[in-house]
Amino acid sequence: MSRVFNFSAGPAMLPEEVMRQAQAEFLDWHGTGMSIMEVSHRGREFMQVAEEAEADLRELMNIPDNYRVMFLHGGATMQFSAIPLNLTRPGDVVDYFNTGAWSKKALNEAKRYARVNIVAEHATEIPEPATWQLSDEAKYVHYTPNETIGGLQFHFIPDVGDKPLIADMSSCILSEPVDVSKFGMIYAGAQKNVGPSGIAIVIVREDLIGNAREDCPRLLDWQVQAEAGSMDNTPATYPWYMAGLVFKWLKKQGGLEKIALVNRRKAKKLYDFIDGSDFYHNPVRPQDRSIMNVPFTLANPELDKTFLAESDAAGLKYLKGHRLVGGMRASIYNAMPEEGVDALIDFMADFERRYG
Ligand SMILES: *Cc1c(COP(=O)(O)O)cnc(C)c1O
Cβ neighbour number for residue 200 with a 10 Å cutoff: 25
Question: What's the mean pLDDT in 146-151?
Answer: 98
What is the CB-side half-sphere exposure of residue 12 using CA atoms within 13 A? 30
Q: Is the CB of 170 under 6 A from ligand 1?
A: yes
Give the C-alpha separation, 349 to 126, whole Å: 30
Q: Specify the number of domains making up the chain.
A: 2
In a domain? residue 162: yes
Residues 68 and 174 in one domain: yes
Mean pLDDT of all residues belonging to the chain: 97
Secondary structure (3-state) at 141: strand
pLDDT at 250 (0 to 100) = 98
Residues 21 and 136 in one domain: yes
Strand pairing class (141-143; 146-147): unpaired
Give the C-alpha separation, 125 to 131, whole Å: 13
In a domain? residue 178: yes
Give the C-alpha separation, 308 to 306, whole Å: 5
In a domain? residue 320: yes
Give the C-alpha separation, 327 to 197, whole Å: 25
Mutating to test ligand 1, I would choose from 142, 154, 168 the residue with most ligand atoms within 8 A of its C-beta, which is 168
Domain CATH number, residue 270: 3.90.1150.10
Give the C-alpha separation, 299 to 106, whole Å: 33
Residues 215 and 271 in one domain: no
Find the DSSP H helices in the chain: 16-24, 44-61, 75-87, 101-110, 222-227, 237-252, 255-275, 304-313, 338-355
Q: Is the CB of 195 under 6 A from ligand 1?
A: no
236 in Cβ contact with 194 (< 8 Å): no
Question: What's the mean pLDDT in 102-118?
Answer: 98
Give the C-alpha separation, 160 to 136, whole Å: 10
Above 80 in pLDDT, residue 234?
yes
What is the DSSP track for 168-203? E-TTTTTSS---GGG-SEEEEETTTTTSSSS-EEEE
Domain termination site, one of 252, 284, 317: 252
Q: From 185, 214, 213, 249, select the one nearest 57 (Cα to Cα).
A: 249
Give the C-alpha separation, 312 to 110, whole Å: 39
**Cβ neighbours of residue 140 closer than 8 Å, sequence gap 6 or more:** 83, 87, 94, 95, 163, 164, 165, 166, 184, 185
Q: Is the CB of 76 under 6 A from ligand 1?
A: yes
Instruction: Name which residue sits closest to atom 12 of ligand 1, judged by CA.
Output: 170
Percent of the chain exceeding pLDDT 90 equals 98
The residues pairing with 91 across neighbouring beta strands, listed in sequence order, are none
Residues 97 and 129 in one domain: yes
| pLDDT tens, residue by residue, 79-96 | 999 999 999 999 999 999
Q: Is the CB of 102 under 6 A from ligand 1?
A: yes
In a domain? residue 1: no
Residues 282 and 326 in one domain: yes
Domain termination site, one of 201, 226, 252: 252
Domain termination site, one of 237, 252, 267: 252
In a domain? residue 341: yes
pLDDT at 325 (0 to 100) = 84
Residue numbers of the domain that contains 348? 254-355
Residues 321 and 261 in one domain: yes
| pLDDT tens, residue by residue, 281-337 | 999 999 999 999 999 999 999 999 999 999 999 999 999 999 888 899 999 999 999
Residues 214 and 339 in one domain: no
Residues 248 and 258 in one domain: no
Atom of ligand 1 at shortest range from CA of 144: 13
pLDDT at 1 (0 to 100) = 61
334 in Cβ contact with 263 (< 8 Å): yes
Active-site positions read 102, 168, 192
Residues 338 and 204 in one domain: no
222 in Cβ contact with 200 (< 8 Å): no
* pTM of this structure: 0.98
